[in-house]
Structure 1
Amino acid sequence: MLPDHAKLLALLQEAGEVVGRKKWQKIVYISKKLELPLQEKYTFHMYGPYSEELTMRTEELCSLGFISEIKERKAGYYQYRYQLTEEGGTFLEKMDLDWPWKKAEAIILQLNEYSAKFLELVSTMLYFEELPKEDVKEKVCALKKSQNYSEEDMEEAWQLIQSLK
């Protein structure tokens, strides 16, 4: 098992449970941007930053029985719940993993409290963070027009980013 897979297990262990594929993608991306040692490569996608590598690694971890993926039918769509399994926890205990446990816990627990929609906003803002703040706002408004993010949403996202750095 590769260390990059084990880091995802550690992240999920900190979260306890993550509800939604999009939310899982955003939590991993934001954690990476906040300098947790995650290696997944991201590109910009319809719902913000997306990693095909993360999707593949998650599928592999589910196939190995290290992550539980529960598919639930919601109003017209399916929602997925992810949790570390007992086997995943046992494997993680045996790994000599270089992982910043305290820093990760502080980040993950806070991020997991937010909705996938809000984390989509935060991750999109972080994706364009090298731009001036006003340009980031313009990008978000242009690319995420259908999400109808308010000024308050954007300010809350900036505050979250600053509090986590």
Structure 2
Amino acid sequence: MLKDHAKLLALFQRAGEVVGRKKLQKIVYIAKKLNFPFNEKYQFHFYGPYSEEVTCRVEELCNFKFIEEVKEKKGGYFQYRYTLTPEGETFLSHHDVDMPALENVVSSMNGKSSRFLELVSTVLYFDELEKDEVKEKITTLKAKQRYTDDEIEEAYEYINLLTQLQTELHC
């Protein structure tokens, strides 16, 4: 029943700490697109792919005291920090979550900015389209972000890197 919760806990365990709700959403989405077994449904939202299910599960994990959410005031907005608690570690120890490559992939993504992960996840959201069509979508849907062609190219290169990290440990 709580298998999907355990998968999120495994992500927090491997990340150490995730700073930002948007970053968390993008990390889970990108991992899912890399064929990690996350089952949450996503739709395109203001900041790119978004899952209400991830939001609800994180809230439940906080209520269970399996993860800690720390709310910090940063300028004109609030930022959230998430870490696995000892209770979460105990819960996770009773579940077999087999995702050996997740640590390298999550560590890499966790070191990137939310803005960049928003771009990467948007590229992946439209992965059925040709590259020039994806660029057009990004410049239209993400006009306020003002992504450059170089940034979009960097996102494609980063997706290839993540794919390599994921497949290296599966071989």
- TM > 0.5 between the two? yes
Shift of 1:9: 0.1
Counterpart CA distance in 1 for 2:20 and 2:135 is: 26
Give the aligned partner of residue 98 of structure 2.
99
Give the aligned partner of residue 146 of structure 1.
144
* Partner SS, residue 41 of structure 1: coil
* Partner SS, residue 130 of structure 1: coil
Give aligned-pair identity as a percent: 59
Give the aligned partner of residue 15 of structure 2.
15
The answer to whether the 8 Å contact 1:18/1:83 transfers is yes
Deviation string 1:87-117 (CA, Å, 9 cap, x unpaired) is: 101111122x24212x101210110010000
The answer to whether the 8 Å contact 1:37/1:99 transfers is no
Number of matched pairs? 163
Counterpart CA distance in 2 for 1:150 and 1:16 is: 31
Give the aligned partner of residue 46 of structure 1.
46
The one-letter code matched in structure 2 to 1:145 is A
The one-letter code matched in structure 1 to 2:104 is A
Deviation string 1:14-47 (CA, Å, 9 cap, x unpaired) is: 1100000000000000000000000000000000
Q: Which runs of 4+ in 1 moved over 3 A?
A: none
The answer to whether the 8 Å contact 2:27/2:110 transfers is yes
Counterpart CA distance in 1 for 2:98 and 2:80 is: 26
Q: Name stretches of at least 5 consecutive residues in structure 2 with no aligned partner.
A: 164-171
Q: Name stretches of at least 5 consecutive residues in structure 1 with no aligned partner.
A: none
Shift of 1:126: 0.2
Matches within 5 A, 1:55-94: 55-94=55-94
Counterpart CA distance in 2 for 1:99 and 1:5 is: 14
The answer to whether the 8 Å contact 2:10/2:97 transfers is no
Using structure 1 for the length normalisation, give the TM-score.
Answer: 0.97
Give the aligned partner of residue 166 of structure 2.
none
Counterpart CA distance in 2 for 1:65 and 1:152 is: 42
Matched, 1:159 2:133: no
Counterpart CA distance in 1 for 2:145 and 2:61 is: 32
1:123 counterpart (117, 121, 124): 121
* Partner SS, residue 13 of structure 1: helix
Using structure 2 for the length normalisation, give the TM-score.
Answer: 0.93
The answer to whether the 8 Å contact 2:6/2:97 transfers is no
The one-letter code matched in structure 1 to 2:136 is E
